[in-house]
Amino acid sequence: MAKKYNNIFNLEDKTALIIGGSGYLGFEMSKALFLMGAKVIIANRDIKNFNYNFKKFKPNLDTRNQFKFIKLDITKSKSFNKFYKNLNKECNSKLDILVNCAWNGKKNTLESISNRDWDHDINVSLSSTFKITKKLIPLLKKSKGKIVNIASMYGHIAPDYKIYSNKKLSNPPSYGAAKAGIIQLTKYLASYLSPYKINVNSISPGAFPFPQTIKKFPKFIKELKTKSVLGRIGTPKDLRGVIILLCSEGGNYINGQNICVDGGWGVR
């Protein structure tokens, strides 16, 4: 009986594409899917970051055929076109899981953000998720696949600017706006794609500060910890369980949901 239930999280024979999968959160989720048996394809603009994380991963077997990298700069249309061609070759036109996890932006305040910065941030996070998902829907229809979009707690609550007084830590208004858009796009896609048996959900992490931020700004981290009812910040490993659930048979009846992984930040 136990073996039967263990199998609901098995991802063997599944192919997963993680956009932004070389990043701080993205790589941990990529590893989790791989360790459950999936072939993982990471799309990022810089292979150096992928190679660095891959070396730290130190898997016990040759994973190069099961853990792949394809270059993608989501700010350039030419890069998109080349990426789709490479993806079809790499996955043999078979895709079971799509995880949209891309983000790149400056530490802006409402006063400092320019129109150009705003457009860039919305394009990288929200528009690219729409474009990639729309392009890959035919493949996901074939597999009755899963889509997971990475949003943020700041997509449904506002940053507390009493703890963001340092401009080096500022959270740009474009970030929350884009992530709120991700949550709504997730619900729209879940409804629209339901006839094709495609599950679409989002995850809202928070707060998951980068290691360099933890080291440089201990007072800020202490304040962040008080926001969570668990009294701590998140680490990438805290996302392993939820990404496996949403990408596996275990999550087959979860659809159109935004799952908060925030230590209870949002309950207050």
Direct distance between the N- and C-terminal alpha carbons of the chain, in angstroms, rounded to an integer:
40
Domains and CATH numbers, the chain: 2-267 (3.40.50.720)
From first to last of its 268 residues, the chain has per-residue pLDDT tens of 555 666 899 999 999 999 999 999 999 999 999 999 999 999 999 899 898 888 888 665 555 568 899 999 988 889 999 999 999 988 888 999 999 999 888 899 999 999 999 999 999 999 999 999 999 999 999 999 999 999 999 999 999 888 887 788 999 999 999 999 999 999 999 999 999 999 999 999 999 999 999 999 999 999 999 989 999 999 999 999 999 999 999 999 999 999 999 999 888 7
Q: What is the pTM assigned to this prediction?
A: 0.95
Question: Is 175 a catalytic site residue?
Answer: yes
State the catalytic residue, choosing from 24, 52, 175, 253.
175
At 202 the three-state DSSP class reads: strand
Query: If you search the block for the tokens 């884009």, which residue do you land on?
Result: 178
Which whole-number Å values give the CA distances from 252 to 39, 56, 147, 189, 249, in the listed order? 20, 32, 12, 16, 5
Residue 10: half-sphere exposure toward Cβ, Cα within 13 Å: 8
> Which residues 6+ apart lie within 8 Å of 112 measured at CB?
167, 170
